A = this chain, B = another copy of it.
């Protein structure tokens, strides 16, 4: 019901109404301990009556803090990054921070720099980077924005905190499961190798095979999309070199399943398939997909934990989220 012509109430207006100084009102707002109970209640009443809301700009101007975290992301419409963003947002809002986003369409130095500039223009207090691309980390080291940075997939450094799901371990879980089922020719449809996760999963696959004394020669690189899984799957169906395929993500797995279905290759009777991510849909593929689950929201929350720590004491750190194997119907014992 406030008169919309009048300017918004400010500290001084509240102070006048409560019969105190503006500084006392400021103390109440900032929960400063040394305010008597009576005064506090009077001020709080005045705040409620006037519908007072603190002016962020004025506060930021004097404190030199914007209470804003910038999230720099690419592929933000994909299941993983999108949920990581949600995790960050939740933790940030709970901690009293605003979340600003900048999406990078094509990953390049210029695009990353642009986004960082954008955030610096906004004077964010810190930047969370969800661009799981190796080049991004290099760009970040180079461009060091002078504020705390937390990067997903980074191992952590002097200047950058890192939060990651243990991709190697996830890949090992998947491959070991296949080995236990009796498979000894296990191929891999990898994600792009200049993506941190793509490379780490391929390494995990390779390491698990070698640890079991098996060959790691069946690797093809896709681009994460269902389309690339399909194309590669057509080739694989013709060759029939492997009896099991560990796929870099669920979307490529979907394409692979489609190609196998068209070619008459039965899953899991002829070939077993394991994906990575565990999107909500993966349990409804034909057949339901055995895959490695990553808790992306948790990852996002961890990012924010690291950010808060960096904001508080300037220290960088690293955190690792454990993946989990979800066994469904796309894998079976070798006949």
Contacts and interface: CB of A to CB of B under 8 A. Distances in A.
Interface of A: 4, 53-61, 66, 68, 76-77, 79, 82-83, 85-86, 89-90, 93, 98-103, 105, 118, 120-123, 146, 225-227, 229-230, 251, 254-255, 257-258, 261, 280-281, 283-286, 288
A142 to B, nearest CB: 13
A98 B86 contact: no
Closest CB pairs A-B (n = 3): A57-B60, A77-B82, A226-B284
A77 B86 contact: yes
B53 A57 contact: no
B56 A122 contact: yes
A53 B120 contact: yes
Nearest to A115: B93
A105 to B, nearest CB: 8
B86 A76 contact: yes
A270 to B, nearest CB: 16
A93 to B, nearest CB: 7
Contacts of A122: 56, 68, 98
A60 B56 CA distance: 9
Contact of A61 (B54, B55, B123): B55
Say what secondary structure dominates the interface of chain A: helix
Contacts of A68: 100, 122
22 contacts: A53-B121, A55-B123, A56-B57, A56-B66, A57-B57, A57-B59, A57-B60, A57-B61, A76-B85, A76-B86, A77-B85, A82-B82, A86-B103, A90-B103, A93-B102, A98-B100, A99-B102, A101-B101, A255-B284, A257-B286, A258-B288, A286-B286
A269 to B, nearest CB: 15
A102 B83 contact: no
Contact of A261 (B4, B76, B286): B286
Given A225-B280, A258-B288, A100 B103 contact: no
A55 B65 CA distance: 11
Contacts of A59: 57
A71 to B, nearest CB: 8
A250 to B, nearest CB: 9
Nearest to A67: B122
Nearest to A65: B57
Given A61-B58, A86-B76, A258-B284, A118 B93 contact: yes
A59 B93 CA distance: 24
A45 to B, nearest CB: 19
Contact of A79 (B77, B85, B284, B286): B77
Contacts of A281: 226, 251, 254, 281
Contact of A123 (B57, B76, B89): B57
Contacts of A229: 284
Nearest to A226: B284
Contacts of A123: 55-57
